Amino acid sequence: MKKFVVLAVSASFLLVSPFTIADETLPLKAVNRAGEVIDAALEAYGGTEAIANLNSVARKSHFTTWATNQSRSPGPPWDENEQMNFAAIDFKQKTFVGKNKGSGNGFDFDGSQIIKGDEGWQISYRAGTVTPLAEPDFDTTSGPFIRVTAPLLVKQLQERRHTSHWLGEVDFNGRPHDVITLVMEVGPALSLYFDQETHLLSRSERVLPPFGQVDYRFTEYETIDGIPFSKSFKLYVNDQPNIYIDYKSTKINAPIDAYASVPDNLQWVEAAPPPPTDVEVQEFKEGVFLVGAGTTYAMFVEMEDHVVAVGGTAGIPERIKALREVVKDKPIKFGVMTHHHNDHVLGVPAYQDEGATVLTVKEHEAVVRAAASDADSLKVQLVEDRYVFDDGNRQLEIIDIGPTPHVKHLLVAWLPEEGVLFEADHFPNPTNGRMQPAQPVTKRLAEAIQQMELDVKLIVGAHSPRVATIDDLRQALALSPVQAAQTSP
């Protein structure tokens, strides 16, 4: 009874003066200090009204990107690529336009994504096609642009201040900063660093498992129509440079409709059907299986008394399990790693668990061992140019077709009797079979096939459930990239 009274008293006290308790609790302090930091930031970014009225932003920029663990060679320095980018957002109309043009990893791209309320389109200027988006999502699509544009983060803070907590004070670049949190509509929380003197945003961070920590730096502020924007921006992933952005132009509160219209000289195509969500086993030639789901697939080849697995993308344990339903008693004695990229060595521990020997090239051995559960005990067979499995009935060749624009060494699997080629990352093979103009990587693959005089009939890959034919490859090679007219930003 007595306890109840005490509670009632403190509750009424709270109602009278919620923010002036002598003993400020930790959560209350976190909310109050965040509020102070947000108010000072709003002032520094042109005032409450200017940020509330900041409805549209259009920015043209130059990106430099680094292909961390995705370069032609294993280990740093990572390949550096360039791209031109244009992004425009209009909050009231829920419209977002993002365009990218550039090349990297042996792929050229020139395309855009447009979201207009409930509608959306994916445009490829390279292929000359427009594809309606099945589920346009303004918040998810515009998120990356908002996260690199300081005034738009401040606008988020203004609208979502209830989500914000003060985390503490830290020195950054020799200057004291307040760190507060922001929870956007989509994605993990951001920690924002505001300079205590200028009240401008210097840095933000978020943790993205399994990638690790993403660190955003806002530098070189300039004022545009009364609102400070950073002229340059740097993004680090686990302390390694990942993207540098150099802004070429910034326009605010101007209509963006012209950029958000779909050009009428493009071919309208339907989106490719989504790949299977559950692991599927396709025996597309006797004793040759393509097993996978989503965007990752491996090929399993039945030999006389064992199985050879090719490919090391995500989900190898489930793929082995699915294979076991069909091929019950033969052990997987070999696992072939196509190349060293971090999404292609994930299967190493699964093959090690099977007791299999892993095939790779000398240059990739360190990366492959590092991916194992136990680096030292991993059984490795190095492939020099070509390694042949032959049990008298079936021949399976593992061939290094490098160098390619994607990697210096690339192992493909070749079944001469069946005319089957398994490759990774060199032949995009959409589920609907609609070929795109051949990428530089695809041209190199075709060249290698010709040089080695491989009589290829079927092509399967690490990222598609579709069994392609040699005609598909020929079709891709015959298509030339088109430069469709586009509304220039």
CB 384, min distance to Zn ion, A: 21
CB 292, min distance to Zn ion, A: 16
> What string marks each residue from 286 to 325 as x (binds Zn ion by CB under 5 A) or -?
----------------------------------------
Measured from the CB atom, the residue of 228 and 335 that comes closer to Zn ion is: 335
Tokens of 350: 């699964």
Q: Which residue is nearest to Zn ion (CB)?
A: 341
What span, in angstroms and rounded, lies between the C-alpha atoms of 208 and 216? 13
Using the rule CB under 5 A, give the single segment among 135-143, 151-159, 233-241, 421-429 that binds Zn ion. Answer: 421-429
What span, in angstroms and rounded, lies between the C-alpha atoms of 105 and 112? 19
Measured from the CB atom, the residue of 423 and 425 that comes closer to Zn ion is: 425
Whether the ω angle into residue 136 lies within 30 degrees of 0, i.e. cis, is no
CB 463, min distance to Zn ion, A: 9
Residues 164/178, Cβ–Cβ less than 8 Å: no
Using the rule CB under 5 A, give the single segment among 139-147, 164-172, 334-342, 453-461 that binds Zn ion. Answer: 334-342
Tell me whether residue 376 is exposed, middle or buried, using C-beta atoms within 10 angstroms of its C-beta: 0 to 12, 13 to 18, 19 or more.
Answer: exposed
Residues 351-390 that bind Zn ion (CB under 5 A): none
Residue whose entry in the numeric block shows the structure tokens 């006389």 = 304
Q: How many residues does the chain have?
A: 489
Nearest in space to 293 (alpha carbons), one of 316, 311, 272, 271: 316
CB 405, min distance to Zn ion, A: 11
CB 314, min distance to Zn ion, A: 13
- Tell whether residue 341 is a contact of Zn ion (CB under 5 A): yes
Measured from the CB atom, the residue of 89 and 421 that comes closer to Zn ion is: 421
CB 342, min distance to Zn ion, A: 9
Measured from the CB atom, the residue of 147 and 341 that comes closer to Zn ion is: 341
Between vectors from CA 160 to CA 47 and to CA 33, what angle results, nearest 5°? 70
CB 173, min distance to Zn ion, A: 36
DSSP string, 175-227: EEEEEEEE--SSSSPEEEEEETTT--EEEEEEEETTTEEEEEEEEEEEEETTE
Measured from the CB atom, the residue of 400 and 425 that comes closer to Zn ion is: 425
Report in angstroms the alpha-carbon separations of 488 from 9, 84, 239, 248, 428: 66, 12, 35, 14, 28
CB 370, min distance to Zn ion, A: 17
Terminal C-alpha separation, the chain: 71
Using the rule CB under 5 A, give the single segment among 258-266, 309-317, 422-430, 467-475 that binds Zn ion. Answer: 422-430
How far is C-alpha 363 from the geometric centre of its chain's CA atoms? 26
What span, in angstroms and rounded, lies between the C-alpha atoms of 336 and 462? 12
Measured from the CB atom, the residue of 309 and 484 that comes closer to Zn ion is: 309
Handedness of CA 235, 225, 46, 93 (dihedral sign): negative
CB 441, min distance to Zn ion, A: 9
- Tell whether residue 425 is a contact of Zn ion (CB under 5 A): yes
CB 105, min distance to Zn ion, A: 7
Measured from the CB atom, the residue of 69 and 486 that comes closer to Zn ion is: 69
Beta-carbon neighbour count of residue 83 at 10 Å?
A: 18
Measured from the CB atom, the residue of 72 and 165 that comes closer to Zn ion is: 72
Between vectors from CA 53 to CA 52 and to CA 54, what angle results, nearest 5°? 95
What span, in angstroms and rounded, lies between the C-alpha atoms of 279 and 282? 10
Measured from the CB atom, the residue of 341 and 394 that comes closer to Zn ion is: 341
- Tell whether residue 423 is a contact of Zn ion (CB under 5 A): no
CB 272, min distance to Zn ion, A: 21
Task: Please give the biggest Cα pair distance in the chain.
Answer: 92
Using the rule CB under 5 A, give the single segment among 28-36, 202-210, 262-270, 337-345 that binds Zn ion. Answer: 337-345
Measured from the CB atom, the residue of 126 and 341 that comes closer to Zn ion is: 341
- Tell whether residue 99 is a contact of Zn ion (CB under 5 A): no
What span, in angstroms and rounded, lies between the C-alpha atoms of 261 and 95? 11
Measured from the CB atom, the residue of 90 and 425 that comes closer to Zn ion is: 425
Q: Which residue ranges make up the site for Zn ion (CB under 5 A)?
A: 341, 425
